[in-house]
Amino acid sequence: MEDGRPSSSHTGESLLFLTDEQLRQGIEAMFFAYRGFTADPDRILSDMAYGRAHHRAIHFINRAPGTTVNNLLSILGVTKQSLNRVLRTLIEDGLVESRIGKFDKRERHLFLTEEGEALEQKLSDAQRARMRMAFRDAGPEAVAGFRKVLEAMMDREMRYTYNRLRESGS
Amino acid sequence: MEDGRPSSSHTGESLLFLTDEQLRQGIEAMFFAYRGFTADPDRILSDMAYGRAHHRAIHFINRAPGTTVNNLLSILGVTKQSLNRVLRTLIEDGLVESRIGKFDKRERHLFLTEEGEALEQKLSDAQRARMRMAFRDAGPEAVAGFRKVLEAMMDREMRYTYNRLRESGS
DNA sequence: TTGGAATGTCAACAACACTGACGTATGCTC
DNA sequence: GAGCATACGTCAGTGTTGTTGACATTCCAA
């Protein structure tokens, strides 16, 4: 594969990555990589009574402290009933604190407790270690491409959310 | 972010993609992109009685026709009970055919029927359309980097499986 | 005061994963 | 041929995470 021709045809070279076979390989790469991506936190969580949904909630509460339930809902893309079940256990277990809004008292602002931050750290350490390894192995140019393709693959609203988090994060 | 220094320090530039903030953004990119990645097939499947698990089975049976149950099991990384539930419905509905092994009669070799191929086509058309768009928007160099990072993110066995499928596919 | 928004909660259900146990057919080895 | 291992299927139970639908509460705003 990789065509073999001595890189003469410009169009041939620049469109090769759009063949069905290349697209299929991209699809499979996403599938297998996502498995690796979630494997480490999943292992940690399986010992406790928590799952991937708890991880996601903890991640984004840590990322945007004081976020409202509604906001978190739109980030995670699940129903409030589904999120509520997760949030309730996290609050009961003392990992998340829910404070009534100062201005709008209907809103609940979510924060991690010290204990919650400790778990977040533990989970994200594992996940970042894998990401760091992958980034290091692949090199900076590859990482830029990785981010570019992933961003192009998101739905519009998700891309917007993603970029808002990026701005606030750094 | 982006450090601000006038790109003099080579090490600073090439290691910037390993900061915690950059790694977190990589993690979030994976999360949001995977949502987009599965969104289109999910929409199609939600109309029928099938889910993501059926899609995965159909995809890999199409990709490696005649694969055994055990082989499919190791590709998908689930238990045989979980796969069996999915396979049973697909066989009952006439999308998948299971043939007894010619040499080893304990084995079952799996194939898509015409109807199964039709659904596979429909699902992968949607998924490839998104992948094609993302690849086109990002450009060939980005695609190469995307693949490089994803491959580095896989577990070893998955990387092996992924590459074996690549060889057989093209 | 009435309407709407944000939130919480209850109930029922489905998809998809898991473990554990058991059965059947087949293949391999001694 | 006997005994063990392998490949596959199945039954039963359980857990996480998602969904709808219905309804209550609280609060803000017109």
Sort residue A79 into left (φ over 0), alpha (ψ -120 to 50) or beta.
beta
Which residue from B107, B122, B158 is spatially nearest to B45, judged by alpha carbons? B122
Burial class (CB in 10 A: 0-12, 13-18, 19+), A108: middle
Strand partners, B67: B110
Mean pLDDT of A53-58: 96
pLDDT in tens, B100-121: 999 999 999 999 999 999 999 9
Q: How much of chain A, in percent, has pLDDT values that exceed 70?
A: 91
- The amino acid at residue A117 is E
Question: Is the distance from CB of B133 to CB of B125 less than 8 angstroms?
Answer: no
Which residue from A128, A94, A89 is spatially nearest to A112, judged by alpha carbons? A94
Mean pLDDT of A77-85: 94
Strand D neighbours among A 39-58, CB < 7 A: 49-56
Q: Which pLDDT belongs to residue A113?
A: 95
Q: Which pLDDT belongs to residue B46?
A: 86
Chain C footprint positions (protein CB, under 7 Å): 5-12, 15-21, 25-28
Is the predicted pLDDT of residue A4 greater than 80, yes or no? no
Only one residue has tokens 């400790």, namely A118
Q: Give the pLDDT band (50/70/90) at residue B76.
A: very high
Start-end of H helices in chain B: 10-15, 20-47, 52-63, 69-76, 80-92, 114-138, 140-153, 156-169
Residue A147, min C-alpha distance to chain B (Å):
7
Residues of A in contact with B130 (CB under 8 A): 153
Question: Which residues, including other chains, have CB under 8 Å from residue A57's CB and lie 6 or more apart?
Answer: A72, A76, A83, A86, A87, A90, A96
**Which tops the pLDDT comparison, B9 or B57?**
B57
The average confidence (pLDDT) of chain A is 89
- The amino acid at residue A147 is R
pLDDT in tens, A9-42: 445 456 778 899 999 999 999 999 999 999 999 9
Is the predicted pLDDT of residue A103 greater than 90, yes or no? no
Q: Give the pLDDT band (50/70/90) at residue B168.
A: confident
Strand B96-100 relative to strand B108-112: parallel, antiparallel, unpaired?
antiparallel
pLDDT in tens, A83-95: 999 999 999 999 9
Is the predicted pLDDT of residue A144 greater than 70, yes or no? yes
Residues of A in contact with B39 (CB under 8 A): 155
Q: In what order do the strands lie in the sheet with B96-100?
A: B67-68, B108-112, B96-100
Q: How many CB atoms lie within 10 A of CB B81?
A: 7
Q: Give the pLDDT band (50/70/90) at residue B130.
A: very high
Say what the alpha-carbon torsion angle B163, A39, B17, B140 is, to the nearest 10 degrees: 30
For the whole model, what pTM was predicted? Answer: 0.90
Mean pLDDT of B67-72: 97
Give CA–CA dist B128/A146, Å, rounded. Answer: 17
State whether the beta carbon of A148 lies below 7 angstroms from any atom of strand D. no
Give CA–CA dist B163/A161, Å, rounded. Answer: 34
Is the predicted pLDDT of residue A72 greater than 50, yes or no? yes
Residue in A28, A36, A148 closest to B155 by CB: A36
Question: Which residues, including other chains, have CB under 8 Å from residue A56's CB and lie 6 or more apart?
Answer: A76, B31
Is the predicted pLDDT of residue B47 greater than 60, yes or no? yes
Q: Which pLDDT belongs to residue B14?
A: 66
